[in-house]
Amino acid sequence: MLTSEHITTWIRKSADEMRDNRGYLTELDAAIGDADHGNNMDRGYKAVLEKLPDDNDVGAILKAVAMALISKVGGAAGPLYGTMFLQAANALKGKEALSSEDVELLLKSSVDGIVMRGKAHAGEKTILDSLIPAHEAYKEARAAGAELIACLDAATHAAEEGMKATIPMIATKGRASYLGERSRDHQDPGATSTYLIIKTLYEAASEGDAT
């Protein structure tokens, strides 16, 4: 189970990663966008930390994350990640701990939120290219009988592979799509921040001895 404490730790770890990778994410965005993704994510997660509620309801925590991101992050990423956390919050409303099945629902509703807001598909060089593989790897690992932490480990590896697989893609959604062919040979910034978000979920679970 992942407790509300694991979830809070996850969000704090994500904020640390966004701070530490602010320059890296911005550099990636400088190549195919407008050089603000690192600043957007760091500013957003700083706002999230200020709004993190002391609540045992995982849905309430995720909703607070969503609201902070929507209100503080301009550009594409704020509404996208905001909707992602809002969908997850709705799916997990009232739960004080997440079973392995609930975590699968967290990932599935996250994918649904991004699709709902951004109308992209796999292969368009976006957030979805690391998020969809993460959800699928988690689902497969769980179906094969793996424990929660092992499922998250599989999801993290899949997110990383998905992130790297955006390098040869041509962007057809978002700002990078204006570049057409010239968006090729660059790693997508949003797929990269999503990898960090999945990785920190795994770390929060494994360091917090989730069972």
Residues that bind ligand ADP (CB under 6 A): 29, 33-34, 36-37, 40, 75-77, 80, 114, 118-120, 126-128, 173-175, 188-191
Q: Which is nearer to ligand ADP, 127 or 141 (CB)?
A: 127
Provide the residue type at 121 as one letter: H
Smallest separation, CB 187 to Mg ion (Å): 14
Rounded Cα–Cα distance for residues 154 and 103 (Å): 13
Alpha carbons 181 and 46: distance in angstroms, whole number: 35
Is residue 124 close enough to count as binding Mg ion by CB under 5 A? no
Please give the Cα distance from 111 to 127 (Å, whole number).
Answer: 9
CA–CA distance, 44 with 77 (Å, rounded to integer): 10
Residue 23: CB minimum distance to ligand ADP, A: 14
What CA–CA distance (Å, rounded) separates 37 from 77? 8
Residue ranges in 19-58 that form contacts with Mg ion under rule CB under 5 A:
29, 33-34, 36-37
Give the span between the Cα atoms of 73 and 41, in whole angstroms: 7
Write the interaction track for Mg ion spanning residues 131-160; mark x where CB under 5 A is met and - where it is not: ------------------------------
- Among Mg ion, ligand ADP, none, the one that 128 touches (CB under a kind-dependent 5 to 8 A) is ligand ADP
Give least dist CB 109 to Mg ion, A.
25
Strands 2-3, 97-98: pairing is: antiparallel
- Go through the chain and tell me how many residues it has: 211
Q: CB of 83: closest distance to ligand ADP in angstroms?
A: 10
For ligand ADP, the nearest residue by Cβ is: 190
21, interface contact from ligand ADP, Mg ion, none, CB < 5-8 Å by kind? none
Name the nearest CA neighbour of 60 among 18, 97, 94.
Answer: 94
In the complex, minimum distance from the CB of residue 178 to ligand ADP, in angstroms, rounded to a whole number: 10
Let me know if 123 is exposed, middle or buried by CB neighbors in 10 A (0-12, 13-18, 19+).
Answer: middle
Residues of the shown chain interacting with Mg ion in the complex, contacts defined by CB under 5 A: 29, 33-34, 36-37
